[in-house]
């Protein structure tokens, strides 16, 4: 069996390091290397000298060369960096797994346009459990009417996370909105401090907590007059996201074009 060649964007980031380590442990995969932004302090140093990644490959800013050599790029970086990498991947027919969050609608449209040339799997969360939660939220939102149950989404992450609400929380909101056949952009409430008004029927509220080293916790609450239904997922560590990203890379390496998500892999 020919090994799948994988390159990791942002290889010295929290997710990048864990993904790189798992690729090296998998006998069916080949770690082509990892790259970082051109101002990173550890450029041109061996990975095993600046991280727990057991590889003597150098940290490089030459993303184009590595992407050209790879079958798949796994990218958990920033929206701007991801789009730059997609441009290079598209020119080299390299498949892409995107775990980057915080993308605008315009940026997501660009991702979709690239998927006409190369296969892309994009998900706000690579966890099997979270993707099952997406489906449960949609089903529950459909079953419990907005006249009877209010929807609130709470999420907690480590203190290093920059985007808020998390991409996963927003995806949960999208699935809840789909279940109720409404548009999230018109129903989401991200901040209740700016207006002194009561809750409107159909609102989907969000609350955010940042602290410590929490890998990720999400709760979707359906709150009625006489009862409450909570759908909860708690990640004990990042390994579930790493395993999902690896499975996504194997899946997308077999596709020719198109935009996929974890549901395509799981169901």
Each residue's pLDDT tens digit, 52-97: 999 999 999 999 999 999 999 999 999 999 999 999 999 999 999 9
Cβ neighbours of residue 25 closer than 8 Å, sequence gap 6 or more = none
Mean pLDDT of 178-185: 97
Q: Which residues pair with 221 in a beta bridge?
A: 152, 230
**Opening angle at CA 64, ends 77 and 28, nearest 5:** 75
Which residues in the chain are classed under CATH 3.40.50.720?
4-122+239-266
Identify which of 180, 109, 190 has the alpha carbon closest to the alpha carbon of residue 143: 180
**pTM across the whole model:** 0.84
pLDDT of residue 266: 81
Q: Is the pLDDT of residue 261 over 80?
A: yes
Q: Known catalytic residue: 160?
A: no
Strands 204-210 and 95-98: unpaired
Per-residue confidence band for 238, with pLDDT thresholds at 50, 70 and 90: confident
Q: Is the pLDDT of residue 158 over 90?
A: yes
Contact 259, 115 (CB under 8 A): yes
Cβ neighbours of residue 87 closer than 8 Å, sequence gap 6 or more = 114
Which residues in the chain are classed under CATH 3.30.360.10?
128-235
Q: Can you read off the two tokens belonging to residue 211?
A: 């602290």
Task: Write down the H helix ranges in the chain.
Answer: 14-25, 47-50, 63-69, 79-92, 105-114, 128-143, 167-179, 184-187, 239-252, 262-266
Crossing angle of helices 128-143/167-179, nearest 10°? 30
Task: Write down the H helix ranges in 119-183.
Answer: 128-143, 167-179
Identify which of 126, 144, 127 has the alpha carbon closest to the alpha carbon of residue 204: 144
DSSP 59: P
Mean pLDDT of 164-180: 96
Cβ neighbours of residue 85 closer than 8 Å, sequence gap 6 or more = 9, 63, 67, 73, 75, 77, 96
Q: 161, 188, 218, 233: which is the annotated catalytic residue?
A: 161
Q: 157, 188, 218, 233: which is the annotated catalytic residue?
A: 157
pLDDT of residue 102: 86
Whether the CA torsion 131, 132, 138, 144 is positive or negative: it is negative
12 phi and psi, to 5 degrees? Answer: -100, 5
Mean pLDDT of 41-45: 97
Q: Known catalytic residue: 93?
A: no
Q: Can you read off the two tokens belonging to residue 166?
A: 């998390």
What is the rounded distance in angstroms from the CA atom of residue 127 to the CA atom of residue 91? 30
Q: Is the pLDDT of residue 188 over 80?
A: yes
Q: Of 3.30.360.10, 3.40.50.300, 3.40.190.170, 1.10.1740.110, which CATH number belongs to 128-235?
A: 3.30.360.10
Label residues 223-236 b or e (16+ Cβ within 10 Å = b). Answer: beeeeeeebebebe
Per-residue confidence band for 267, with pLDDT thresholds at 50, 70 and 90: confident
Q: In CATH terms, is domain 4-122+239-266 a member of 3.40.50.720? A: yes
pLDDT digits (tens, 9 = 90+) for 114-156: 999 999 999 989 998 999 999 999 999 999 999 999 999 999 9
């Amino acid at each position: 069996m020919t090994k799948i060649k994988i390159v990791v964007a942002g290889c010295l980031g929290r997710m990048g390091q864990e993904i790189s380590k798992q690729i090296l442990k998998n006998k069916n995969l080949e770690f082509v290397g990892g790259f970082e932004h051109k101002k990173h302090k550890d450029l041109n140093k061996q990975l095993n000298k600046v991280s727990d990644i057991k590889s003597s490959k150098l940290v490089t800013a030459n993303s184009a060369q590595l992407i050209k050599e790879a079958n798949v790029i796994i990218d958990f970086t920033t929206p701007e960096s991801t789009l730059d990498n997609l441009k290079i991947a598209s020119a080299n027919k390299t498949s892409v797994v995107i775990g980057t969050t915080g993308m605008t609608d315009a940026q997501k449209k660009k991702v979709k346009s690239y998927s006409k040339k190369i296969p892309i799997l994009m998900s706000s969360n690579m966890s099997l459990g979270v993707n099952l939660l997406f489906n449960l939220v949609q089903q529950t939102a459909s079953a419990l009417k907005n006249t009877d149950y209010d929807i609130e989404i709470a999420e907690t992450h480590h203190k290093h996370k920059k985007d808020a609400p998390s991409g996963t929380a927003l995806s949960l909101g999208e699935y809840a909105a789909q279940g109720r056949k409404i548009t999230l952009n018109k129903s989401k409430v991200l901040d209740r401090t700016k207006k002194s008004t009561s809750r409107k029927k159909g609102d989907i509220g969000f609350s955010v907590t940042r602290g410590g080293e929490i890998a990720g916790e999400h709760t979707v609450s359906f709150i009625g007059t006489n009862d409450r239904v909570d759908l909860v997922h708690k990640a004990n560590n990042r390994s579930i996201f790493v395993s999902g990203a690896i499975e996504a890379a194997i899946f997308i390496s077999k596709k020719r074009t198109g935009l996929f998500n974890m549901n395509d892999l799981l169901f």
